[in-house]
Amino acid sequence: MVSALGLTGVLGGCGVGGGSSDVTLRLVAADYGDSAANSSEKYWADLVERYESEHPDVKIDVSVYSWNDVDRKVKEMVDAGDPPDLAQIGAYADYAAEGKLYKAGDLLSIPVQADFLSQLAIAGEVNSVQYGMPFASSTRVLFYNKELFAEAGITPPKTWDDLAANAEALKARGVKYPYALPLGPEEAQAETMQWLLSGGGGFKDITGVYSVDSVQNVQTFTWLKDELVGKGLTGPVEPGKLNRADAFAAFAAGDVGMLNGHPSLMGMAEKKGVKFGMVPTPGVDGQSPSTLGVADWMMAFNKNGHREQVGDFLDFVYSEENVLDFSREYHLLPVTISASRAMAAADEGKDLKPFLDQLPTSELYPVGNTSWATVNAAVKKQIGKAVAPNGSPEGVLGGLQATATRAENAE
């Protein structure tokens, strides 16, 4: 998701109840803004003000932190025995496995819990029980530079072979990054999963078991190594050292012909005047059967109690109006059925339609497994080697499979 500023702050109540019946709930949240003007502090300040005006006996203290800090801040609070009541961060599974979270069904009203998009709700489950409540989501599509494509006389790709042929044409025109392949440590797991899905594979098989070194996955990375990287079609920085942020910046600078991107890239490119198009991810024989979906999570810690007040506040947070407001402000996809329908029907947010269309067939990381943190870290560190000149896709994926199996057995 979108990383943001190192902005911190406390919003809402003062932290001390005015009477014995008052309850103060502490929420730690991530910042989705890219400047002080659109910091998530402003979103939460408005939401909290509206909630508190109707619930004078409940105060909500919100602390907003950069994505660089927020998960660590929450872990420090939990480790110190002082968890917040609510945390809106990147991962929930460890806390759920340790018995520290309320079940979503013990907090939310039935209509609110039933309103979550099904694949997001399922991704929030540990052992078939939902603990993680999706808060924001996005999908990936293929972005392409319209001017560079027109100059090269090519059309958007539908298959891998189309993509490789386009990259050849772009390279012949002197384009710096015909296809940008960011397999650097910042977000390699995203580009990796996008390609695995387009090749008919993924990190796990249909039974939910890690299958990192499946035949399909090895074929996918062999194709990448031989047909793109090996032919000099991925630019001057080797993929294992190219981070997603740098690839996005290069696209916004007009130096990239094609790359996989999420909604925030639209704003970056528009600000720099880059004319771009977006199409579904190409697959082996046509459009990829599924695309990468990503979600961030809301969770409620059970140590402090206040289950009823937490649940009532979350019902307000997940109202159609509030989900829509957040999604539109930060160019993200709604996590509820009602808000998704409203966005699809409205003119506002129409630029998100290509991403919204991909959401029903998207696949998420296996975030409900505590093993995913280990696998994710290993992918970020190792996957770039699979497409290096002397790299072995089969060997690298086999090593990652061994790591995944060990992590899964340790769960």
Q: Which structure tokens are listed for 230?
A: 């090996």
Q: Please check whether residues 317 and 227 belong to one and the same domain.
A: no
Q: Please check whether residues 102 and 16 belong to one and the same domain.
A: yes
Q: Please check whether residues 56 and 193 belong to one and the same domain.
A: no
Q: Please check whether residues 45 and 176 belong to one and the same domain.
A: no
CATH of the domain at 398: 3.40.190.10
Residue 4 is assigned to a structural domain of this protein: no
Residue 298's H or E segment, with its range, is strand 291-300
* CA gap 103, 126 in Å, rounded: 10
Residue 166 is assigned to a structural domain of this protein: yes
* CA gap 35, 19 in Å, rounded: 38
Q: Sort 63 into a burial class: Cβ within 10 Å, 0-12 / 13-18 / 19+.
A: buried
State CA 55 to chain mean position distance. Answer: 33
Tell me which residue of 242, 193, 243 sits closest to 217, measured CA to CA: 193
Q: Quickly count: other Cβ atoms within 10 Å of residue 159's Cβ.
A: 16
Tell me how many domains the chain contains.
Answer: 2
pTM of the model: 0.85
* pLDDT tens-digit profile, the chain (411 residues): 433 333 334 343 333 333 335 899 999 999 988 777 888 999 999 999 999 999 999 999 999 998 888 999 999 999 999 999 999 998 899 999 999 999 999 999 999 999 999 999 999 999 899 999 999 999 999 999 999 999 999 999 999 999 999 999 999 999 999 999 999 998 999 999 999 999 999 999 988 899 999 999 999 999 999 999 999 999 999 999 999 999 999 999 999 999 999 998 998 999 999 999 999 999 999 999 899 999 999 999 999 999 999 999 999 999 999 999 999 888 899 999 999 999 988 887 788 889 998 888 899 999 888 899 899 999 999 999 999 999 999 999 999 999 999 999 987
Residue 287 is assigned to a structural domain of this protein: no
Q: Please check whether residues 133 and 239 belong to one and the same domain.
A: no
Q: Please check whether residues 108 and 253 belong to one and the same domain.
A: no
Q: Please check whether residues 56 and 182 belong to one and the same domain.
A: no
Q: Quickly count: other Cβ atoms within 10 Å of residue 72's Cβ.
A: 11
Residue 104 is assigned to a structural domain of this protein: yes
Domain carrying residue 26: 10-138+294-364
Residue 83 is assigned to a structural domain of this protein: yes
Residue 286 is assigned to a structural domain of this protein: no
* CA gap 208, 390 in Å, rounded: 32
Residue 288 is assigned to a structural domain of this protein: no
* CA gap 47, 56 in Å, rounded: 14
Q: Please check whether residues 380 and 236 belong to one and the same domain.
A: yes
Q: Please check whether residues 55 and 115 belong to one and the same domain.
A: yes
Residue 56 is assigned to a structural domain of this protein: yes
